[in-house]
């Protein structure tokens, strides 16, 4: 008799993107960093209202941490944004919405507060390595 072990190399979000109130034409960023148990890196695919987005550095940009920046907001950029993070073995997805404050009656929150809070959470989770230099 023998035992069979199945190891699941899961992917998980460190933080999921939050809904953002648009302030036309200013850029907005959806933060969606993910980590993986696998040795393979996490890759990210973003969708806007079901259509796959391509990072082109002109209208949208996806950085190495999976964060999506919509460089110029406008009516056509409103809607649902979905991030799929995958390590080739497993994947997770999360959605957020870019909306006009008038759509909900809410006042726009400062967009940089979301980034500061999520950036601090990431720095706390993954502190920068301490570097030393020894000069003979």
Tell me the pLDDT band of 117, cut-offs 50, 70 and 90: low
Average pLDDT (99-127) is 58
Nearest to 85 by CA among 30, 29, 19, 34: 34
H helix or E strand, kind and range, residue 121: helix 111-125
Query: β-strand 91-99 against 60-62: which pairing, if any?
Result: unpaired
> Which CATH number does the domain 11-104 belong to among 2.60.40.10, 3.20.20.220, 3.40.1190.20, 2.30.30.90?
2.60.40.10
Beta-strand pair 60-62/20-21 = unpaired
- 126: pLDDT strictly greater than 70: no
Span 53-81, mean pLDDT? 93
Tokens linked to 52: 């796959």
- What pTM value is reported for the model? 0.72
* Structure token digits, residue 32: 């969606």
Report whether pLDDT(49) > 80.
yes
Residue 40 confidence (pLDDT): 84
Q: Which two tokens stand for residue 83?
A: 């991030």
Q: What pLDDT score does 114 carry?
A: 54
pLDDT-derived band at 131 (thresholds 50, 70, 90) equals very low
| Residue ranges of domains in the chain | 11-104
Name the more confident of 21 and 2: 21
Share of the chain above pLDDT 70, in %: 69
Looking at residue 41, the DSSP 8-state letter turns out to be: P
Q: Rounded CA gap, 18 and 61, in Å?
A: 17
Structure tokens at 127: 């502190």
pLDDT at 76 over 70: yes
């Amino acid at each position: 008799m023998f035992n069979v072990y199945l190891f699941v190399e899961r992917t998980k979000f460190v933080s999921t993107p939050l809904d953002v109130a648009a302030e036309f034409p200013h850029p907005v960023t959806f933060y969606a960093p993910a980590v993986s148990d696998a040795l393979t890196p996490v890759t990210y695919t973003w969708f806007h209202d079901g259509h796959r987005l391509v990072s082109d550095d002109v209208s949208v940009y996806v950085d190495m941490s999976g964060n999506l920046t919509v460089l110029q907001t406008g009516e056509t950029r409103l809607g649902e944004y979905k991030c799929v993070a995958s390590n080739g073995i497993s994947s997770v997805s999360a959605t957020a919405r870019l909306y006009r404050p008038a759509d909900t009656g809410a006042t726009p929150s400062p967009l940089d507060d979301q980034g500061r809070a999520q950036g601090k959470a990431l720095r706390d989770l993954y502190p920068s390595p301490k570097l030393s230099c020894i000069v003979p």
